[in-house]
Amino acid sequence: MTFNWMAWTTPTATFFIVIFCMLVGMTIWEIKCPGGAPRQSILHFETTRGDRLFVSLLGSAYIHIIWLALFASLSLWWAFAIACVYALCVFRWV
């Protein structure tokens, strides 16, 4: 089976490897320290660790899309930095 139909460039492969590593990391975290009990967020709904990971990944995708739409000529590393700060904030307060 070949995967020639998919654009497996280095950034694409890195993206999927990082997502996979995040899921493995969250699984290990849950096994080592079970009970990621839901907590009340600043938005007044309960979130778990998995919810916060999902919200941070979804928000990061939107940050990158908006960055590309508005600042395509600038480096994408700035969007990555903003997305990392956003994810830290989500895990801290949401």
Domain count within the chain: 1
- For residue 60, give its domain range: 49-94
Residue 21 included in any domain: no
Residue 91 lies in a domain: yes
Number of helices (H), then strands (E), in the chain:
3, 2
pLDDT value of residue 1? 60
Q: Which of 53, 48, 51 is nearest to 33 (CA)?
A: 48
Residue 17 lies in a domain: no
How do residues 21-71 score in pLDDT, each as one tens digit?
A: 999 998 998 889 887 778 888 878 888 888 889 999 999 999 999 999 999
